[in-house]
Structure formats: C-alpha cells, structure tokens
Amino acid sequence: MQRPAYLDETEQADLSRLAVPAKLDEVLLGLLASPNIACKRPVWQQYDHMLFCNTVVEPGSDAAVLRLQGTEKGLALSADGNGRYAYLDPYEGGKLAVAEAARNVVCAGGRPLAITNCLNFGNPERPEIMWQFAEAVRGIADACRAFETPVTGGNVSLYNETLGTPIFPTPVIGMVGLLDDIRHATTQWFKAAGDEVLLLGETRDELGGSEYLKVVHGQETGRPPRLDLDRERAVQAVCLAAIRAGLVRSAHDCADGGLAVALAECAMTGPDAALGGRFVIPGDLRPDSLLFGESASRILLSVRPADVGKVEAIARRHGVACARLGEVGGETIAFRGKGFAFSLPVATVQETWATALSRLLG
C-alpha cells in the first residue's frame, strides 16, 4: 500500500482565497439542480417501493420506514456514501458514510442497529488504490464500533476504471434502525406555519469536498468535514430523545449542500403544500461557509413553539449546541446572516429541485 501523492496538494488547498459569490440565491438554485442533490423521484418511482403495503414513509425523506406487521415496531432504512469525501480522505470518508446513514435513521425515529456495505474502488493491484481501500475500511470499522452497528453483510466492487482512470473510492453504507413505536416515524418536511426551527450541532469553516466547491468553483479539493464520533453520537441522542418524547414535528440532517439546502428541502419535499420560512443563520464565518459548508453532526428540527424549551433542555443535558433559526410559514424561504440576506419563492425552489434530474437525463 502507498498513500496517493495527490493528497499532498489537496490537503494544503487554501479555500480562504475563494471569492464569495455575489448572488447566493443563484448558488442555492444551482446546488438544488445538481444531480447529487436534485430530486431522485424519476429513479425510485420506477420500482416497487411500497413493499406489500408495509411502507409507512416512502423514499424522499432521510430514511424510509417500514411497518413490522403484527407489532408496534418499524424499521428505518437509509443508504449513504460520498465518493468525494473518500477521495480526499478515505478514512474520514468511511466514517462519514456510516455517520450520515445513522443520522438519517435517527431523523426518521429509529435507533441504528446494523449496516451493510457496498465498497466501490479501482484496481487494488495499484498500491494507492489498496491504501484507499484499507483506510476506508478502517474508517467504517471505527464508526461502526462507535455506533454499535455490526456489519451484517455487503459486497466489494473493484477494478472500476476507464482507460486507466479509477473512479473515486466510494464506500456506500446501508443502515437499518429500529422504531420501538411506529407512531414515532418522523419525516424531514415542515408540518405547520408557526413552528420553530432549531439547529442541533455546530457549523464550522468546512468547505473542503463540498458540493458547493464542486458546482460553483469547479474544485474537488481540501479536507472533508472532520467527524468527532462522540459529538455525532450526542447530537443523534438528542434528536432521538426529542422524537420519542413527542416534541419533534420534523427532523432532517444537514449533509450535501449544507444548511441552506437542508432548509430548502424541509420547505419543499413534503406531499402537501410547501411551507417556507424566515431564517437567521448564526455565526461569524464567511457567508458561503455558513450556508453551504457541510460540517457533520448537524440536524434540523421543527417543533411547536411551546416545546422549544423542552428540546433545548434535552440538548443541554447532552452538551449539544441548539440554535433557534426562525419560524416556518409563508410562500418564500428567506435567509439572513452576517454579510448576506436573500429570499426565494418556495415554488421556484421546488420547481428547480424537482425537475433537474429529468432535464439532465432528457
């Protein structure tokens, strides 16, 4: 095995020199139209996703939820993986894939139980590829120990190259979790005007490996988000405790595209009328880091105003930051923070996101 030479360059990338785009509303629309973020309905609607009518939460939220017939229990299912993260740091990429899959299961109301994996790499006879593989597996293993989620099976796909150029190392994680009470099944979209939106976790200056960096600046460089497994477990514990206490109206993790994309998804992805909101993004970071950075261990919750203090108390007990971002309601989604303010009609956001993949595929 041999560490790839390209990491000497990517790890030293100075992203502070990037120009902050003048039109952040156009950046958000561009990210929502990216294939990695755009609506995947054109794909999953072609398959039987109802599974003998046991599906309680269909594809389109953080995790699908299935009813276990004859019981009050349910299963939450999620699949996650980010090849860019693993390309820039295979160890962190492996950890992050497990953490996001677990976070998605928790946002659906489930307790993570176990994973399966699909490990996609280039030619392992090349020392650099074998190093990527070993590091990614090491990251997966460390995260699985932290979440107590054994690997129950999986597969490995190697020699994925075109004319000698390998794919990005891409570990994909499938996570299953248990809902003791199917009534706790939770979805990512806002439920009612007047609900308060809370952010669990902290936003740091982490643009490396982000969708924003690729789509807007054409770069796949830097360090991916750092994952503190203890912090991640604490954030997930707060979310799950609040759901089980009946305090949470919606829950959604922040991942590809960062906080602005996550809030837009909360506003527009539900089966009923879309709901906008007015949000103040806290922090002193540059605007693109605040809005589009992909720091790990963050979850958005919407709760009734009367329950905000109860959720904040749970967060304090676990030592987790809990910030009030704003209120659900209206036909626009508005963002304000240090050095920026913009808004977009929810209808425009939804149209961009919902039709992007079909337009790209013709």
- In the numeric block, which tokens belong to residue 124? 């392992």
Q: Decide if 204 is inside a domain.
A: yes
Beta strands in 27-160 (DSSP E): 55-57, 64-67, 74-80, 111-120, 151-157
Decide: 280 and 318 in contact? Cβ < 8 Å: no
Domain C-terminal end among 185, 200, 233:
185
Full domain range(s) for residue 205: 23-43+188-356
Question: Quick one: CA dihedral 211, 187, 233, 171, positive or negative?
Answer: negative
Is residue 99 located within the same domain as residue 35? no
- In the numeric block, which tokens belong to residue 353? 């996101």
Q: Decide if 9 is inside a domain.
A: no
Is residue 301 located within the same domain as residue 217? yes
Q: Decide if 198 is inside a domain.
A: yes
CA distance 243 to 251: 9
Residue 362: Cβ within 10 Å count? 4
Domain C-terminal end among 121, 151, 185:
185
Q: Decide if 18 is inside a domain.
A: no
Is residue 107 located within the same domain as residue 251? no
Is residue 285 located within the same domain as residue 325? yes
Is residue 211 located within the same domain as residue 349? yes
Domain C-terminal end among 143, 170, 185:
185
Residue 2's pLDDT is 97
The string of DSSP letters for 211-262 reads: HHHHHHH----SPPPP--HHHHHHHHHHHHHHHHTT--SEEEE--TTHHHHH
Question: What Å distances lie between residue 306 and 81, 302, 310, CA to CA?
Answer: 37, 12, 8
Which secondary structure element, helix H or strand E, spans residue 70, and what is its range?
Answer: none
What's 337's domain CATH number? 3.90.650.10
CA distance 178 to 77: 9
Pairing of strands 111-120, 170-179: antiparallel
What's 143's domain CATH number? 3.30.1330.10
Is residue 334 located within the same domain as residue 192? yes
Q: Decide if 327 is inside a domain.
A: yes
Q: Decide if 259 is inside a domain.
A: yes
Number of domain units in the chain: 2
Q: Decide if 362 is inside a domain.
A: no
Q: Decide if 244 is inside a domain.
A: yes
CA distance 109 to 250: 10
The reported pTM is 0.95
Is residue 97 located within the same domain as residue 71? yes
Per-residue pLDDT of the chain (362 residues; tens, 9 = 90+): 999 999 999 999 999 999 999 999 999 999 999 999 999 888 877 887 766 678 888 888 999 999 998 899 999 999 999 999 999 999 999 999 999 999 999 999 999 999 999 999 999 999 999 999 999 999 999 999 999 999 999 999 999 999 989 999 999 999 999 999 999 999 999 999 999 999 999 999 999 999 999 999 999 999 999 999 999 999 999 999 999 999 999 999 999 999 999 999 999 988 887 899 999 999 999 999 999 999 999 999 999 999 999 999 999 999 999 999 999 999 999 999 999 999 999 999 999 999 999 898 88
Is residue 213 located within the same domain as residue 256? yes
DSSP β-bridge partners for residue 106: none
CA distance 7 to 219: 14
Is residue 195 located within the same domain as residue 180? no
For 255, residues 6+ apart whose C-beta sits below 8 A from its C-beta are 80, 100, 103, 262, 294
CA distance 341 to 358: 31
Is residue 124 located within the same domain as residue 227? no
Is residue 205 located within the same domain as residue 159? no
Is residue 251 located within the same domain as residue 193? yes
